[in-house]
Structure 1
Amino acid sequence: MKILLYKGFFRIVSKSGIGEAIRHQEKLFKLLNLTYTKKVNDSFDILQLNTVFPDSLIISRWSKWKKKKIIYYAHSTMEDFKNSFRGSNWLAPLFKKWIIHCYNSGDIIITPTDYSKKILKSYGLKKPVFSLSNGIDTDFFCPDIKMGQSFRIKYQIDPSQKVIISVGHYIERKGILDFITLAKRMPNYQFLWFGYTNLNIVPNNIKKSIQSASTNLRFPGYIDRDELKSAYSGADLFLFVTYEETEGIVLLEALSSKIPVLIRDISIYRNLLTEGRNVYKAQNLTEFKDKIEKILNNQLPNLTSAAHEIAAERDLNEVSKQLLNIYTSQFNNENMQETD
């Protein structure tokens, strides 16, 4: 069994969760000692796709004509496409039709969570849908005191200063407007938002809010995984104010890094994460502000050990075993049946 991990237009998604998911898939292949290629002109038995650009659909159709098996990773839904870029809400219904067309070109569909699986199944997809986490490298994303100190030195943050971080694109769905508002309401804390989106493609209200952000909020832009590990190790709170996700790899990174985590109370995390057990949750700005103050002033219990257990269950080693089960059960059986 040889797998073609198709990476067409990878540069477009390389700095996103999809890009990280693709990198994780390469690690899974290596953990499983599976033969794979990234070259389209190589021989292969299984095509693995991650994006919904037109080139992915083209190679999917071509591979089907060559009688190859196709795995389509479904990272996107109409729901998480909304409130992203200019015109995204207007385009959302068309986007939904397009991704259905793309995903149905595969033999099986893999999506990160039961939540996203439920959404996809509601679309009436014709192919089997499996939920499998994108995974997290828990050996890498772990607390590192020296890297944490380097983070504070780089950003000129006093050791006694409380720091709140988040990671994501500059899009409304990620909660960036709420993050900016919280920074203005809490001037005694330092806020950093890591990640980058060209301001020319975001709505004007996002652009103006970023440009008028308070002085205690910085936007360092995209940083590599080493710097991100430093940030998780040196900050005091990971604040995830997103409104919609299919999984949230950066959340898994934070859980694995044992940094206190405060998230928005949204459907995808209702069963996965429990308020007061492994994370703290809030629903509005007032609740976020209250929880932030209590967490940073040690008025709430530290939940990082329990949070790490959630990440450990999704370690790449564990995910690799589950992925192998999907491969062997589905591609050794021509009558592919969906699991529960």
Structure 2
Amino acid sequence: MKILLYLEGENFLRKSGIGRAILHQKRALDIAGVDYTTDPHDDFDIAHINTYGIKSLMLIFRAKRMGKKVICHGHSTMEDFRNSFVGSNVLAPLVKKYLTFLYSQADMIITPTDYSKKLIASYGVKAPIVAISNGIDLSKYKKSTVKELAFKQHFDIKDGEKVVMCAALYFKRKGIDDFVAVAKRMPDVRFIWFGETNLWTVPGWVRRLVKKNHPSNAEFPGYIKGDIYEGAMTASDAFFFPSHEETEGIVVLEALASDQNVVARDIPVYAGWLDNSAATLVKTNDDFVSALSDTISGKIDKRDRGYQVAESRSIENISTLLVAAYTRLLNQQ
């Protein structure tokens, strides 16, 4: 069995959750000892398509002509396209039609959660849909003094200084306006937003929010990976994720794997795998301020249960589920 893992527009998507997801797929197949390629001109048995562009669609058609099985990964929905780029809300219904057409070409769809499975099924897609988490590499997010020092030195974090972090693109969907509003109400805490988006692709108010319309304790350092980012995950006082819509939320898994307290918006995607025993899920800015204050002060500590959730979605566990899905598909006549 040989799998083609395909990611169109890698340079554009490497900073996104989809970019992280394909890295997790590679790691999962390495663990399982399953051969894979990223070159669509190689031989393969299953094409596992992670993207939605014209090249992805053409590859699906070519694979089908060759008699190969095709999996489309349901990373995206109309719902999580809204409130992102300029014009996204106008284009959302067209995106839904296109995704429905593309997903309908697949022999199987893999999507990260039961929530995204229900959304895709509601579009009228008839292909089998399997919910398998994007997974998390637990070893990568273990507490490290070296990584924490790299984070603290990079941001000049003083002893006793309180830090709340987030990681996301510059989208309204990600709750960037609420992140700034909450930071404004907690001036003694540093709020650091990891991640970036080309500012000319997002609405003007988001651009201005990132450039100047935020309090001095809110920081937007851009896309940072490696030791600094991983050190921030373990050394911060809380991970704050006010996103309105996700198909899973890989950064939430990263925070849980970092043994970090998570404060997030209570949205449907978490149903069935993340609840208030493992993270603090609330809905309003008042609740965010209260939850973050209680977390920073030590009144709330859900790290042990949160880490157990990350363990349940480890790359090792996901590897087994992925291989089972591939095998089931190959055995279908």
| TM-score, normalised with respect to structure 2 | 0.97
Give the aligned residue type for 1:281.
L
Q: Is the 8 A contact 2:3 2:48 kept in 1?
A: yes
Moved over 3 A (4+): none
Letter in 1 for 2:160: S
Root mean square deviation of aligned Cα? 1.1
Which residue of structure 2 lines up, in the alignment, with residue 338 of structure 1? none
The whole-number CA distance in structure 2 between the counterparts of 1:287 and 1:3 is: 45
Q: Does 1:317 align with 2:316?
A: yes
- Give yes or no for the alignment of 1:8 onto 2:4: no
In the alignment, the residues of structure 1 paired with residue 55 and residue 162 of structure 2 have an alpha-carbon distance, to the nearest angstrom, of: 46
8 Å contact from structure 1 (residues 152, 159) kept in 2? no
SS at match of 2:29: helix
Query: What is the letter of the counterpart of residue 62 of structure 1?
Result: R
Which sections of structure 1, spanning at least 5 residues, go unmatched? 335-340
| 2:261 alignment partner AA | P
Q: Compute the displacement of 1:181 (Å).
A: 0.9
1:8-157 equivalence runs, <5 A: 8-157=8-157
How far apart are residue 131 of structure 1 and its match?
0.3
Residue identity over aligned pairs, in percent, reads 40
Residue aligning to 1:260: 261
- Secondary structure at the residue paired with 2:141? coil
Q: TM-score under structure 1 normalisation? A: 0.95
- 1:127 is paired with a residue whose SS is coil
Equivalences, count? 332
1:214-229 paired onto structure 2 within 5 Å: 214-229=215-230
Uncovered stretches (5+) of structure 2, i.e. residues with no partner:
none
Distance 1:53 1:120 in 2: 18
Are residue 194 (structure 1) and residue 194 (structure 2) matched? Answer: yes
Contact 2:136 2:314 in 1 (8 A): yes
Where 1:166 maps in the other structure, the secondary structure is strand
**CA distance, structure 1, for counterparts of residue 50 and residue 41 of structure 2:** 18
Give the corresponding residue for 2:291.
291
Which range is displaced more, 29-38 or 74-83?
29-38
Aligned pair 1:274/2:279, yes or no?
A: no
Q: Distance in 1 between matches of 2:8 and 2:85?
A: 22
String of CA shifts for 1:38-67, please: whole Å, max 9, x gaps.
222211111110000111000100110111
Distance 2:147 2:12 in 1: 29
Superposed displacement of residue 148, structure 1: 1.5
**Pairing 1:331–2:316 present:** no
SS in 2 for 1:215: coil
Rounded to whole Å, the distance in 1 between the matches of 2:8 and 2:206 is 30
Query: Secondary structure in 2 aligned to 1:238?
Result: strand
> How much has 1:319 moved relative to structure 2?
0.4
Shift of 1:24: 0.9
Number of the residue aligned with 1:235: 236
2:234 maps to amino acid: S
Partners of 2:145 and 2:280 lie apart in 1 by: 24
Q: Following the alignment from structure 2 to structure 1, what is the Cα–Cα distance between the partners of residues 293 and 2?
A: 52
Query: Does the aligned pair in 2 maintain the 1:148–1:235 contact within 8 Å?
Result: no
1:143 Cα deviation from its structure 2 partner: 1.8
The alpha-carbon deviation at position 8 of structure 1 amounts to 2.8
Q: Residue by residue, what CA displacement relative to the aligned partner does 1:97-141 show, whole Å, maximum 9, x if unpaired? A: 011111111110000000100111111102110000000000111
Contact 2:63 2:69 in 1 (8 A): yes
